[in-house]
Amino acid sequence: MKGYVFHAPGQSTWQELPDPAIEDPTDVIVRVDAVTICGTDLHILKGDVPEVRPGTVLGHEAVGEIVETGTDVRTVRPGDRVLVSCISACGRCGYCREGMYGQCRGGGGWILGHLIDGTQAEYVRVPHADLSVHPLPGTVANEDAVLLADIFPTAYEVGVLNGRVRPGDTVVVVGAGPVGLAAIATARLFGPERVVAVDRAASRLQAAKEFGAEAVADAGEDPEQLIADLTGGLGADVVIEAVGLPETFELCTRVVRPGGHLANVGVHGASATLHLEDLWIRNVTITTGLVDTHSTPTLLRMAAAGRLPTRQFVTHTFPLDHMQEAYDVFGNAAETGALKVVLGVPQHEVVPVHPTV
């Protein structure tokens, strides 16, 4: 088979590889029918995630068909169409018992495209299959479902739920990439007074408006002033960091109101300064998190009911073997207007409803 292999920061190739095989009785092999690229994959290519060993197939989001199951797999069988979650879960450890699958101590957690070979390939081995893949209803198309592997549960759990968005809140989302846009969309499920998006790319701010942000601010101008003006000088009830840079995290700590919540979603590769000398007196709650994907079944039901703007994310589609081109387009989003690139879906099946970005 072929897959997209990380060799070193800045070096990766679509290349021939041995087919994956069942290694443990709880494994399945999935034929990848649709796969996407995550901002986190770009972090890996930059060298921000040093645990990724040279030779690892990247990717942690896919939709495909089960082609083989280990002898202990109970919930899926060959021929089933499934969503491959970015998080695998043993289901037995203390964390899994609490639904905190991202922290699984039994061999799960974020392993695909991180600690073991991932989904940007023709086939992928998924360990602990019973809790790590989700059978898909026929009503959810591949290019919609693949967005529920990572960005929707991430934005919803680590951003919106950790940030405790409530009706009437002012919610600021810093970073209007796919994760930030999914945070805007899922924050709106809670009836906030307004959502404000901050980004430095005009195309992303335009997308934020289309996903429902009432106000947008260019990060290069004065987002702090805009947020102060909108909130009577107080700051936002909830601030969601969806970039992963020291300066954006630090901006978030300056625009959250006393008693507010700052939910960090971004993957950080460098240390940020925590200004405790300003924050200690402000009763601010700061949360961090790796997505658990405990919300995936809920999000799948919502997608099947047409309640999530999944298709709006898909700006570009490619055949699976155009992986490098897809990375180039996704990695240059400010110029290409890419939100999510989906590989493996026949071109004619996707009608972008997002032509302006």
Q: List interacting residues with ligand NAD (CB under 6 A).
A: 38-40, 42-43, 150, 154, 158, 174-180, 198-201, 204, 219, 242-245, 247-248, 265-267, 289-291, 333
Q: How many residues bind Zn ion (CB under 5 A)?
A: 6
- Measured from the CB atom, is 219 or 239 closer to ligand NAD? 219
- For position 289 contacting Zn ion by CB under 5 A, the verdict is no
Binding at 178: pick from Zn ion, ligand NAD, none (beta carbon under 5-8 Å per type): ligand NAD
Cα 241 to Cα 13, 141, 300: the distances in Å are 31, 30, 24
Report the nearest approach of Zn ion to the CB of residue 89 (Å): 5
Report the nearest approach of ligand NAD to the CB of residue 49 (Å): 9
- Measured from the CB atom, is 136 or 219 closer to ligand NAD? 219
Report the nearest approach of ligand NAD to the CB of residue 138 (Å): 27
- Measured from the CB atom, is 34 or 66 closer to ligand NAD? 34
Binding part of the chain for Zn ion, among 42-50, 93-101, 145-153, 187-195 by CB under 5 A, reads 93-101
- Measured from the CB atom, is 6 or 95 closer to Zn ion? 95
Binding residue for Zn ion, selected from 93, 184, 195, 216, defined by CB under 5 A:
93
Report the nearest approach of ligand NAD to the CB of residue 202 (Å): 10
Binding at 106: pick from Zn ion, ligand NAD, none (beta carbon under 5-8 Å per type): Zn ion
Give me the helix-helix angle, 202-210 and 178-187, nearest 10°. 30
Give the 3-state secondary structure of residue 56: strand
CB atoms within 10 A of CB 70: 17
- Measured from the CB atom, is 69 or 296 closer to ligand NAD? 296
What gap in Å lies between CA 325 and CA 344, rounded to an integer?
Answer: 13
- Measured from the CB atom, is 165 or 219 closer to ligand NAD? 219
Q: Which residues contact 185 (CB under 8 A, 6 or more apart)?
A: 155, 211, 212, 308, 309
- Measured from the CB atom, is 283 or 324 closer to ligand NAD? 324
What gap in Å lies between CA 36 and CA 62, rounded to an integer?
Answer: 7
In the numeric block, which tokens belong to residue 91? 């289901």
Binding at 90: pick from ligand NAD, Zn ion, none (beta carbon under 5-8 Å per type): Zn ion
10 Å CB burial of residue 317 (0-12, 13-18, 19+) is: buried
Binding residue for Zn ion, selected from 57, 82, 87, 96, defined by CB under 5 A:
96
Provide the pairing of β-strand 236-241 with 215-218: unpaired
Nearest by Cα to 83 from 139, 34, 128, 118: 34
Provide the pairing of β-strand 123-126 with 28-36: antiparallel
The residue assigned the tokens 């490619």 is 318
- For position 131 contacting Zn ion by CB under 5 A, the verdict is no
Report the nearest approach of ligand NAD to the CB of residue 103 (Å): 11
Binding at 63: pick from Zn ion, ligand NAD, none (beta carbon under 5-8 Å per type): none
Report the nearest approach of ligand NAD to the CB of residue 264 (Å): 8
What gap in Å lies between CA 213 and CA 196, rounded to an integer?
Answer: 6
Cα 341 to Cα 144, 146, 282, 315, 344: the distances in Å are 12, 11, 41, 6, 10
Q: Which residues bind Zn ion (CB under 5 A)?
A: 90, 93, 96, 104, 106, 108
